[in-house]
Amino acid sequence: MPRASCAVLLFALAAAGLAPRAALAQFVAGQCVLAYGRPAVILGDSNVAGQFMARDSRLSEGTGQSFRPDQLTAVPCPGAPVAQNVCFQSDEGQSASELEQVVRHALRTSLERSEYATTVGLDRVVVGEPRAWTDGDVSEFGVGDTSKAIVDARVLYRTCVDQVTDIFIRRLESNFVCFSTAATGEIVCEIAGSTGDLEQETSQTLPKY
């Protein structure tokens, strides 16, 4: 087709609104953008009109607003905030004997379950000699295997719970009894009273950010 004819055809198409258009930017769900200069997140694919739903990235809920592609600018998503205060690492501490090592491990795992603790630190553990079960033990700790010895322990420990916006730390001293369970044979430890001039409990809540 002669060049002049091409020019006439393109003019006619443009007049009819059918001229080829430059490709518009495409976005995907979860992509970070600037919508009219404000941070936002794309919620899904474009609609039949070629527009995208985007929600203010500072909001956790909401349906968002519809934007044309030329109103959106792709930007890197901001990184997660770095916590300034975090829970300490779990620490069973040093053991003076094989028995104490077993008791310290059982104390940590038992406290993590019973206290819903993220981490546990054992600062001081005094382990008694293995002994036979008493009637009081059987009444209070009925899940234990009474054919095996029971062990008393006096423990100074810390627990840390990692919550949404803060961490909660406790430090306290308690008496425990440790024993094998009848059902699985697992060694567990349970609190056995607060007698014996125990150290007073302290606690603190620290903001994470």
For residue 62, being part of any structural domain is answered with yes
Residues forming beta bridges with residue 38, ordered by sequence position: 35
Residue with tokens 């029971």: 150
For residue 158, being part of any structural domain is answered with yes
Domain that holds residue 174: 98-207
For residue 187, being part of any structural domain is answered with yes
For residue 17, being part of any structural domain is answered with no
Distance CA 33, CA 49 (A): 19
Whole-number average pLDDT of the chain: 85
For residue 61, being part of any structural domain is answered with yes
* Residue with more model confidence, 183 or 20: 183
Q: How many domains does the chain have?
A: 2
* Residue with more model confidence, 178 or 65: 178
CATH classification at residue 40: 2.30.30
My answer on whether 64 and 110 are in the same domain is: no
Please give the structure tokens belonging to residue 122. 């054992």
pLDDT at 16 over 70: no
pLDDT at 201: 94
Start-to-end CA span in the chain (Å): 68
The confidence band for 18, taking pLDDT boundaries of 50, 70 and 90, is very low
Count CA atoms within 13 Å of residue 43 on its CB side.
Answer: 18
Distance CA 110, CA 143 (A): 14
My answer on whether 58 and 121 are in the same domain is: no
Please give the structure tokens belonging to residue 75. 């930007």
Which residues contact residue 88 at a Cβ distance below 8 angstroms, ignoring those fewer than 6 apart?
119, 121, 158, 160
pLDDT at 9: 42
Count CA atoms within 13 Å of residue 156 on its CB side.
Answer: 9
DSSP 48: T
For residue 5, being part of any structural domain is answered with no
Among residues 116, 110, 121, which one has the least CA distance to residue 162? 116
Answer with the one of 46, 79, 112 that is the final residue of a domain: 79
* Residue with more model confidence, 56 or 132: 132
For residue 151, being part of any structural domain is answered with yes
Question: pLDDT tens digits, residue range 143-188?
Answer: 999 999 999 999 999 999 998 889 999 999 999 999 999 999 999 9
Question: pLDDT tens digits, residue range 127-139?
Answer: 999 999 999 999 9
